[in-house]
Amino acid sequence: MLRIAVQAKGRLYEETMELMKEAGIKLSNAKRTLLIPSKNFPIEVLFLRDDDIPQSVASGVADVGIVGENEFVEKEEDAQIVKRLGFSKCRISLAIPKDVDYQGVNWFNGKKIATSYPVILQNFLNANNIKADIHVITGSVEIAPGIGLSDAIFDIVSSGSTLVSNHLKEVEIVMQSEAVLIGHNALSEEKKEILDELMFRFDSVQKAEGKKYILLNAPNENLKEIINTLPGMKSPTIMPLAEEGWSSVHSVIDDKQFWDVINKIKGLGAQGILVVPIEKMIL
């Protein structure tokens, strides 16, 4: 049995539970339960505060955990990043009052900075030879300059709307963060096998994200050009149609290329284009 620590609530919790569901891992809907075993996979889920997850994995209370990279780096616990998960993306940035004339990082010399991430901030200041007073706050860091508690803040930024509403502007991006799967450094062989299967399932879900499966009818005279236009995993599948001179083409394309590709193959005579969402992708 592999024990995985996850955040007990919030956006990271919701996205983690969605990933588990897409990976075919069934969990009970028990409320206020600290530890829940899976019904169909050899794992149990331990619900914790996000800042407790790195320590729980490092100490072996949990075998692996899903946590924001920012929390993992901040806690400096002895564990390893096993896999980047690509969701709950944000950045950790320095922000100052919007009416301040900012000329560069030297502005922070002698200033007071409010943050919930003193370790990451201190490392940044040391790297830039900046001496500033770090004021540690848990909670609404962004209000600190407005009430005179600090000159600047160092905090998570997603859309930036919270900064705007507090009359702040982002001036230095210190770190990019996303959800990561972290692991204990001394897992047994049995638990490593379970973890490998878990990562295989996660990979299959992630590879399908942003992909579409398309089927189309193509005139054979333009078949080579249409095939060259389609960015398939290896190469498109081609099957002859009952109508002479036509073939059925199957391929996978990325959402980012979708409309550009569709317009090009339509211009080459493709017809009957069918687009299907992909749930899993096994390579």
State whether 116 and 43 are in the same domain: no
Q: Domain check: are 172 and 186 in the same one?
A: no
Tell me how far apart the terminal alpha carbons of the chain are, to the nearest angstrom.
Answer: 27
Looking at per-residue pLDDT, the higher value among 233 and 149 belongs to 149
pLDDT at site 176: 97
With 80 as the cut, is the pLDDT of residue 225 above it?
yes
The per-residue pLDDT for 31 is 61
pLDDT band at 138 (very low <50, low <70, confident <90, very high): confident
Residue 229 lies in a domain: yes
Q: Are residues 49 and 114 in the same domain?
A: no
CATH number of the domain at 232, please: 3.30.70.120
pLDDT band at 210 (very low <50, low <70, confident <90, very high): confident
Structure tokens at 180: 């990561």
- pLDDT value at position 235? 74
Shared-domain flag, residues 254 and 192: no
Residue 231 falls inside a structural domain: yes
Q: Which amino acid is at 174?
A: V
Q: Is the pLDDT of residue 233 over 80?
A: no
Res 279: pLDDT: 81
Enumerate the β-bridge partners of residue 216: 249
Instruction: Specify if 282 maps to a domain.
Output: no
Tell me whether residue 222 is in a domain: yes
Average pLDDT in the chain: 93
The whole-angstrom separation of Cα 129 and Cα 109 is 9
In this predicted structure, the answer to whether residue 109 has a pLDDT above a threshold of 70 is yes
Q: CATH number of the domain that 38 lies in?
A: 3.40.190.10
Which residue segment(s) compose the domain that 27 sits in? 2-86+178-207
pTM: 0.83
pLDDT tens-place string over residues 8-41: 999 999 999 999 999 999 998 766 679 999 999 9
Q: CA angle, corner 231, sides to 229 and 236, nearest 5?
A: 90
Q: Is residue 48 part of a domain?
A: yes
How many domains does the chain contain in total?
3
| 249 and 197 co-located in one domain | no
Q: Using one digit for the tens of pLDDT, what is the confidence trace for 46-67?
A: 999 999 999 999 999 999 999 9
Report CA 109 to chain centroid distance, whole Å.
Answer: 33
Q: According to the 3-state scheme, what is the secondary structure of 208-259?
A: HCCEEEEEEEEEHHHHHHHHHHCCCCCCCEEEECCCCCEEEEEEEEEHHHHH
283 inside domain: no
